[in-house]
């Protein structure tokens, strides 16, 4: 079931799974279209009121990052498995389906009813994770693209902030891992990653080519544990070296080997 009830579009009904980890704050898994997402959910921008009290929790949107996502969404063939995490108002209603298969002991299947705001009224959801993706989805050409949504019921801003911090507290991917993966990706990449693809491939060649002065000396995420003691050059240093060479092609005063020798360090990893 995927419907918006009546002509005034006051209610979205969507098939959903309910998971009761905490009965006071049930979890739901369902879909919204790219057109519906920001009609249902607000972005709670971090700011302070006149008394200095903290309001919201989301960072400002990053325009280039949003545009990169829009460009991908508007391309010919896409896969968008990344779910948006929402905090739902307690005004939402869940009607469990009937029948023996509606509850397997872990999740209940049914219909989630999400009321849409009238006029300038408050929206029934807030984005906890995925604000850049949500903005990009609102700008893309695919208005009916189904988007996976994970949501929990919570009216309290304190709980929303708690979940926001927990979701976003994980460390980003190590730069070395990204550097090694880039040459193996054939699809269109965001501009910031695309610019590193050729330097990353060159770094890989320097490490694997037997005639290279750096053969077997570059630290790679895929290096076996027993080889790590013999790798003394940070791969990100090689990537930086090539990037600088490409951005300043007229400067030929130093050889590749002499520039690289300046970067034989682990300090920037």
- Which of 81, 86, 79 has its CA nearest to residue 12? 86
Which distant-in-sequence residues (6+ apart) come within 8 Å of 140 by Cβ? Answer: 34, 69, 70, 73, 74
Percent helix, percent strand, percent coil in the chain, to nearest 5:
35, 25, 45
Q: Where are the domains of the chain?
A: 2-167, 175-261
For residue 1, give the 3-state DSSP assignment: coil
Question: What are the distances in angstroms from CA 25 to CA 69, 75, 90, 92, 163?
Answer: 31, 38, 9, 12, 12
Kindly list the distances between the CA atom of residue 99 and the CA atoms of 17, 23, 110, in Å, as whole numbers in the listed order.
Answer: 15, 22, 11
User: Which two three-digit tokens encode residue 200?
Assistant: 């990353």
**In tens digits, what is the pLDDT along the chain, a chain of 269 residues?**
455 544 355 889 999 999 999 888 999 999 999 999 988 998 765 555 565 555 554 455 567 788 889 999 998 888 999 899 999 999 999 999 998 889 998 999 999 999 988 877 788 998 888 888 998 999 999 999 999 999 999 888 777 777 776 776 666 667 777 878 888 777 677 777 888 888 888 888 888 889 999 888 988 887 777 777 888 888 888 888 888 888 776 555 445 544 444 444 443 44
Give the model's pLDDT for residue 169: 62
Residue indicated by tokens 């929206």: 123
Largest interatomic CA distance in the chain: 77
Indicate the DSSP class of residue 61. P
Q: Write down the pLDDT at residue 179.
A: 79
pLDDT number for residue 159:
79
Query: Can you give the pLDDT at residue 268?
Result: 43
Instruction: Give DSSP secondary structure letters for 39-52.
Output: HHEE--B-EE-TT-
């Amino acid at each position: 079931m995927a419907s918006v009830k009546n002509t005034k579009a006051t209610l979205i009904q969507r098939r959903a799974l309910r998971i009761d980890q905490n009965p006071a704050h049930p979890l739901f898994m369902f879909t919204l279209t790219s057109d519906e997402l920001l009609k249902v959910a607000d972005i709670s921008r971090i700011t302070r009121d006149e008394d200095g009290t903290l309001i919201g929790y989301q960072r400002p949107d990053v325009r280039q990052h949003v545009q990169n996502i829009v460009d991908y969404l508007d391309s010919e063939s896409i896969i968008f498995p990344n779910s948006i995490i929402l905090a739902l108002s307690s005004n939402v209603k869940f009607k469990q389906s009937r029948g023996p298969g509606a509850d397997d002991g872990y999740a209940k299947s049914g219909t989630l009813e999400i009321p849409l705001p009238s006029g300038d009224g408050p929206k029934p959801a807030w984005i906890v994770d995925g604000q850049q993706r949500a903005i990009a989805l609102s700008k893309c050409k695919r208005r009916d693209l189904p988007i996976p949504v994970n949501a929990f019921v919570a009216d309290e801003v304190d709980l929303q902030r708690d979940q926001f911090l927990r979701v976003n507290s994980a460390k980003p991917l190590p730069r070395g891992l990204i550097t090694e993966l880039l040459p193996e990706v054939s699809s269109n990449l965001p501009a910031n990653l695309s610019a590193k693809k050729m330097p990353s491939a060159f770094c890989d060649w320097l490490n694997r080519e037997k005639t290279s002065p750096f053969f077997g000396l570059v630290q790679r995420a895929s290096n076996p544990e027993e080889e790590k003691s013999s790798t003394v050059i940070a791969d990100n240093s090689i990537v930086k070296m090539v990037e600088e060479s490409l951005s300043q092609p007229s400067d030929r005063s130093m050889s590749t080997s002499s520039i690289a020798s300046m970067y034989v360090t682990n300090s920037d990893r």
